[in-house]
Each structure stands twice: as C-alpha cells, then as structure tokens.
Amino acid sequence: MTVSITAQYRQSLDAPEEFWGAAAAEIDWIRPWDRVLGGGTAPHERRWFEGALCNTCYNAVDRHVRDGRGNQPALFYDSPVTGSSRRLTYAELLDQISRCAGLLRALGVGKGDRVVIYMPMIPEALIGMLAAARIGAVHSVVFGGFAAPELAVRIADATPKVILTASCGIEPARTVPYQPMVEEALRLAPGAVQRVVVVQRPQQAWKMDPARDLDWTTALDSAEPADCVPVAATDPLYILYTSGTTGKPKGVVRDTGGHMVALKWSMTHIYGVKPGEVFWAGSDVGWVVGHSYIVYAPLLHGCTTVMFEGKPGGTPDAGAFWRVIADYGVSVLFTAPTAFRAIRRADPEGKLMGGYDLSRFRTLFLAGERSDPETLKWAEEKLKVPAIDHWWQTETGWSIAAGRIGPDAPPLRHGSVGRPAPGYALEVLDPQAKPLPAGEMGALCVRLPLPPGCFPTLWQAPRRFFDSYMTAYPGYYETGDAGWMDAEGRVFVMSRTDDIINVAGHRLSTGAMEEVLAAHPDVAEAAVVGIADTLKGQLPLGLVVLKAGVDRDQAVIAAETVAMVRERIGPVAALKTVLVTGRLPKTRSGKILRRTLREIADGADWKTPPTIEDPGALEEIAALLQNAGYGKKA
C-alpha cells in the first residue's frame, strides 16, 4: 500500500520512533538499538538509535558483495582534465577500501582517531573516507581549493594522526600543487600529524620525505586488509568544517546510525532512485553534497555513483554534463544552480544536448543556493524532465525541504524548495519566536529534536553548538535562512539571515575574508558583503578603510588585499573587487551595516537605518559604489 506524502510527514512528526524505526530496517545492524530516539536533558541532546552497533562501510560496500552484487559497478570516475576514466565494481572497491583501512591501522589509526583527507576529485578520496569509517576512525575532508591557513585551522582543530592527500589538483587551465599547501599547513599546525600518504599523479610530483611520507599505491599493495569495526550508532562518522560568522570554522559532526538511515531513506523517497541505477551528484567530496550524495547515499542504496573531475563548461565545453549522462546512463543528476547558469550562458539554445542520448535521464535536482525560476524553466524546457529545487545545509546533511513527486504532493512551483521532508517540523517564526501565518516572511526554524542524519553537535564545541543554533529561538534549530511558506505548505527560502555568503553553492564566511583584509599592513578596517551575481548566486565585495597617513596608490593596495584572500583562503573565495573608502557605516553599538551595504551594491531600494551612528557614511559609500559600477542612490 502506497502511503501519501502528507501521511508520511504527519507520521514522522506524530510517531517519530515508529517512522524511523521502520526506515532503519533498510540498514544492517550488528546490534539493534535500545531506543529509536534516546532521552536527554534537553531536546537538542536526544540521540537516534541509542545502544545500536553498526558500521557504515559494511552497509555501503560489504553487504552488496555479500548479497551477490560484487560485479556491479560501484563507481564511475570521469576526468576530462586528465583525459582518463576508471570503473570500480563493488568487489574491487571493497578490496581497495579494506587495504586502505589496513594501512591506516598499521599507521596507528584506531577507533575514534581522526584522518584528514585533502584530495581532488579522484577515487582515492572516496576510498579513504570509507576506509576510515571501516575501522571506526573519524574522517575530515578538506576541499582541495583551500589554502594553507584554512587547512591548518582544520588540522589544529581535528588533530589527525594521518593526512591522505595527492600530489596535485587539476583545473582546466592549470595544475595546483598540493605539497606547498600541506607543508605550510603542517608548519602552522605542528604536532598532531605523524604520517602523510600521497597519491602521486603524473601531472605533478610530490617530493617524498622518507621519514613521514608514504606512496599510496606502494603502501596499499603491501597492506593487510582490515575488517569492519563495530561502532555505536551515536559515534561520529566524520567532521566537516563549515564557515562561522566569526571566521573560525565550525566542525559539524555527523553520527553513524542516523546518518545511514536518513540517507538510505532519501534515495527512494526524495530522489526516486532504485538500487543498481546510476546516480550522479555533480559536486565535490570537500562539500556536504559530496559526502552525502557522491559517497554515502548512493552506495548505501546499492547504486552506481559518478565522480567527475571537471567543470560544467570548459572541459571541453558546455556539453560536458550531457556527455557524462549519456556515457554512464545517469538516471538522476543533483548539482548546484550555478552549474546550469553557466551551461545556459554558454549554450542558451541547448544545442549541445542534441549530440547525446539522454533517454535514461529522468530527473534533475538542484540545491546549494536559491534556484532562480528562469534557470529551472530553461532546464525543464531543454531536458524535458522535471527540474526540482530542494533545500538543505551542511548541518542537516540531507533535505530540510524538497520538491517530491507522489500521491497528494502539491504541484511543483518554481521558486519553492518544496514541502518539509519527514522529521523536519519546520516553522516560520517572528523575532519573538511566534509562528507566522502562510505568506509572511520570517526566520525558518525547525522544532527540536532534529531528524536522523542531522548534526548532533560541533566537534569539541558543545557550547558553541547550542549558542550558535539553539538560543535565538528556544526549542528550535535556527537554520539561519529567512523565507515563507504558502497555504499548501510549500517553502520559499529567500535569503540568509546572517552574513554567510553563498558563492556557487559554497558557503563562505565574510568574517574570514574580513580578517584577511584587515591583516594588510595599510588597512585599518574592513567589511565584506555578498552581492547578487547572475552566474554564481553571490560574489563577495570588499570595502577597506586605510590607516591614517597611508599615501600609497589605493589601486595597488586593493590588488594586494585581493591576492591575500586568494593566498590564505583560496580561489574558492572568488573575491575580485576591493574598494577603498574613508569610513564604514555603523550602528551606535559599532556594528557595520552589512545588510544596507548589500542593498546599495545590489541596486535595491534602501533606507538609512535609525540606529546609524553617522548617516553621511552611507551617502559616501553609495557614491563610491555607484562610481565603481554598483547599485544606485536612494
């Protein structure tokens, strides 16, 4: 009997233990739970599948081999930047993961120890993640585009025994050596890391330190395979660092049992995929999408996953996505709206689709930033399949709300991310934490407890976890997004409520960029705001105030600050413009009026806030931005 989407959602809120207990039957447990939802002195302290023992790697790989599906492809790796590809079956993947797990164990990594993975989009990144999970270690993947100081901060916080890395990453127009960044990060964060395992790529050699470094291929060939280690369902699987408003990254922790249950459930009920089909998440393993939907969910579900080391355009052209879909028989693609904006800009008529067989492709999912209706309409018109927006965060690990196709589902509406997913008691709240009626804008918050798969804490920072997410609206998780819901329960996410900006689906902290700008010897003060961009969603714009007596060329100083951000945070920050101003507009309490700055730069109507200390500062900024080609005066 098919259960309606509405009935599913109501059961998940009214009888959560019954709902998620049934969903957990899709997972192999070493020991069953004592309680589906454990107790706790506060709602945010309750834990899913308390008392259970399990192993994520076993569920993602071993059991499929056990059940006779070892010859099914588990992974298609496609790298247009190197002109290479690989195909790994579940049996082959199991062998590689077991050996990598044995290597980690031989290097002294055990249950609860941390392993940092700093790799490009190559199969070894996925193998390293699952190898850590196999022996109960906690992995922390750091995006290869981050510069040494950002990597160092994560090493210092996670204190890994081992780093798994590669000699380089490869962009369409350049090779990015990783060794200089790793060496500098280890200098900045000394002490914890004992060994470095390196995948030597032919495009760039890593100069090995015999006392510290191991060659990946040689080490795995001689490693003794390791079996799966039972861990508690409430034990951490990984740490993934996300930007914090203070510039210090937050180590989002993912638990083991609830994570598996939620992701396995989502593959059927949100993405509509069957075991054996090919699922492609066009992201990077350094981001949460890569964790959830390149590595874990597809393999837990018994699908074939795709790792793509390329870009939507330029590798070699805007037809790259269509080639991958055709070559591997992709059924469902999940990617960021910015990818489709880039494709649309390069090939507005969709002519490049014509040369590929897309007959097995049936659904496109977009997330990571707000999907503008025009991009969704264009994708549907050209692809002749539904283009579905959905909304989730690093903290949640899977959809808070999603457009779904099924019994009694309201029609999909462009601009909406669909209705709340099971387990998410989503409400729109006013500043006093009172629910708002349909159609009114407010803070999007989830009544506690959060469903399985969401973060239970921040790494070594339980107080920061509570203070950052649970205090503004007592009894709720504050998503940090603002929006509204319509009468049929569809959710519309309109903007962030803090100063985290979203560049091409990557959440970046303006505070971190401000710290870098302010570190320039000529800069006294800095502000960074996200301005609207038709391709990437948002781009950062920097404003700096120089120290008294500085008489150097302002254009030179601005260029130097841009270079500093690229060096310390990485090209992913996408900061290209810094303007020098005489003063920054502030409130009487000293807070910079970032929202108003953003409105001015975007050309929106704006008003002088009543809390401003110096109204003339806004007029000065408005003129500066207008002269630089941004915004307009009120």
pLDDT digits (tens, 9 = 90+) for 18-52: 999 999 999 999 999 999 999 888 899 999 999 99
Q: Convert the pLDDT of each residue in 43-87 to its tens digit.
A: 999 999 999 999 999 999 999 999 999 999 999 999 999 999 999
Residue 1: pLDDT over 60: no
Residue 140: pLDDT over 50: yes
pLDDT confidence of residue 2:
65
pLDDT confidence of residue 612:
67
Residue 339: pLDDT over 80: yes
For 213, other C-beta atoms within 10 Å of its C-beta total 18
Yes or no: say if 331 and 325 are a contact pair by the CB < 8 Å rule: no
Average pLDDT for residues 525-544, to the nearest whole number? 84
Give percent above pLDDT 70 in the chain. Answer: 94
pLDDT confidence of residue 246:
47
Most confident of 216-230, 311-325, 493-507, 539-553: 216-230
Strands 506-509 and 500-503: antiparallel
Question: Of 185, 180, 172, 102, which Cα lies nearest the Cα of 142?
Answer: 185
Task: Write down the H helix ranges in 241-398.
Answer: 257-269, 288-290, 297-300, 320-328, 337-346, 373-383
pTM of the predicted model, to two decimals? 0.83
pLDDT confidence of residue 504:
67
The structure tokens 């710290």 sit at 515
Residue 573: pLDDT over 80: no
Lowest mean pLDDT among 148-157, 375-384, 482-491, 512-521: 512-521
Residue 182: pLDDT over 70: yes
Yes or no: say if 348 and 471 are a contact pair by the CB < 8 Å rule: no
Which residues lie across from 279 on neighbouring strands? 305, 332
CATH 3.40.50.12780 at 5-420+427-478, yes or no: yes
Residue 457: pLDDT over 80: yes
What's the chain's average pLDDT?
91
Q: Convert the pLDDT of each residue in 101-123 to its tens digit.
A: 999 999 999 999 999 999 999 99
With residue 141 as reference, give the H or E element that holds it: strand 138-141
Yes or no: say if 392 and 400 are a contact pair by the CB < 8 Å rule: yes
Strands 304-308 and 73-79: parallel
Task: Write down the H helix ranges in 135-248.
Answer: 148-158, 179-188, 216-222
Question: Of 125, 158, 161, which Cα lies nearest the Cα of 143?
Answer: 125
pLDDT confidence of residue 634:
41
Rounded distance, CA 275 to CA 278, Å? 9
Distance of CA 432 to the CA centre of its chain: 30
Yes or no: say if 62 and 228 are a contact pair by the CB < 8 Å rule: yes
Q: Name every residue whose Cβ is closer than 8 Å to that of residue 18 and which is 6 or more positions away in sequence.
A: 11
- The residue ranges of every structural domain in the chain are 5-420+427-478, 500-627
CATH hierarchy code of domain 500-627: 3.30.300.30
**Residue 465 corresponds to which tokens in the numbers above?**
């976890």
Residue 549: pLDDT over 70: yes
Lowest mean pLDDT among 43-52, 196-205, 212-221, 513-522: 513-522
For 168, other C-beta atoms within 10 Å of its C-beta total 22
Question: Of 411, 389, 595, 605, which Cα lies nearest the Cα of 492?
Answer: 389
pLDDT confidence of residue 610:
53
- CB-count burial class (<10 Å; 0-12, 13-18, 19+) for 72: middle
Lowest mean pLDDT among 69-78, 213-222, 349-358: 349-358
Question: Of 308, 383, 379, 315, which Cα lies nearest the Cα of 341?
Answer: 379
For 552, other C-beta atoms within 10 Å of its C-beta total 10
**Residue 275 corresponds to which tokens in the numbers above?**
């075991």
